[in-house]
Amino acid sequence: MLIRKEDGAGETENSMTIRKIFIVNSMGLLTILKKMKQKEKEMRILMLGLDNAGKTTILKKFNGEDINTIEPTLGFNIKTLEHKEFKLNIWDVGGQKSLRSYWRNYFESTDGLIWVVDSADRRRLIDCKEELKGLLLEERLAGATLLVFANKQDLPGALSAEEIRDALDLESIKTHHWNIQWCSAVTGEKLLDGIDWIISDIASRIFTMD
């Protein structure tokens, strides 16, 4: 028996059955993978920003490590942390201009993006804006939650979170959930507020109630 389509093309009942089984199996696999991730309550968070923005200091401070001896990240750091019953795999990648072309190697399966800004470095705000804009166009980061840390608020002359928001034109972002949080990596102030927000937003997207 041949089943005709409206455009005249056709397929046999047998091939249709195989295709339906393939679709069902694929959907079943996606469900299994989601349930596995949900069971582990695991999140992959990518932390990026220009060099000297304070990414590594934030990560070490959040993990309770000594921050007195911080060296520029020439590759990447990864920390697996437990926070509020979630397992956070946080990737901190170097921000030097020569390393930014390698950022794309870390985009896969990212649930959340933390963009760290040196609020006292007014000179490079345009560069900061352009780099973030480029990231948000990346297909593999589509849908990832965005948290902007307006860091170094302990320094004199640091721009406020509102000023950073305007400088980066964050209000124009329509493709990602986003939030901006002022903070100081040195004192630790407001770091948890930002981390709690990004965890909550990611959880609302990728975890479902049993």
Q: Is residue 50, in this structure, part of any structural domain at all?
A: yes
The pLDDT of residue 70 is: 77
Query: Which residue among 17, 31, 96, 208 is the active-site one?
Result: 96
In the annotated binding site, the residues are 49-56, 73, 95, 151-154
Q: Which domain holds residue 78?
A: 41-207
CA dist., res. 202 & res. 144, Å (int): 8
In the annotated binding site for Mg(2+), the residues are 56, 73
Structural contact between residues 128 and 148, judged by C-beta atoms closer than 8 angstroms = no
Q: Is residue 20, in this structure, part of any structural domain at all?
A: no
The pLDDT of residue 5 is: 36
The pLDDT of residue 8 is: 40
The pLDDT of residue 202 is: 96
Q: Is residue 135, in this structure, part of any structural domain at all?
A: yes
Q: Is residue 70, in this structure, part of any structural domain at all?
A: yes
Q: For residue 171, what is the domain's CATH number?
A: 3.40.50.300
CA distances 123 to 16, 100, 120, 159, 167, Å, are 61, 19, 9, 12, 12
Going residue by residue through the chain, which has 210 residues, state the pLDDT in tens, using 9 for 90 and above: 333 333 444 445 554 444 444 333 444 544 444 544 555 689 999 999 999 999 999 999 998 999 888 777 777 889 999 998 899 999 999 989 999 999 999 999 999 999 999 999 999 999 999 999 999 999 999 999 999 999 999 999 999 999 999 999 999 999 999 999 999 999 999 999 999 999 999 999 888 644
Please indicate whether residue 96 is annotated as part of the active site: yes
The pLDDT of residue 3 is: 34
The alpha carbon dihedral of 203, 106, 83, 165 has a sign of negative
CA 103, 76, 189 angle in degrees (round to 5)? 100
First to last CA, the chain: 43
Q: Is residue 7, in this structure, part of any structural domain at all?
A: no
Q: Is residue 64, in this structure, part of any structural domain at all?
A: yes
Counting the structural domains of the chain, the total is 1
Question: DSSP readout, 32-72?
Answer: HHHHHHHHHTEEEEEEEESTTSSHHHHHHHHTT---SS---
Q: Is residue 114, in this structure, part of any structural domain at all?
A: yes
Structural contact between residues 121 and 115, judged by C-beta atoms closer than 8 angstroms = no
The pLDDT of residue 72 is: 76
Query: Could you count the other beta carbons within 10 Å of the beta carbon of residue 21?
Result: 10
Q: Is residue 148, in this structure, part of any structural domain at all?
A: yes
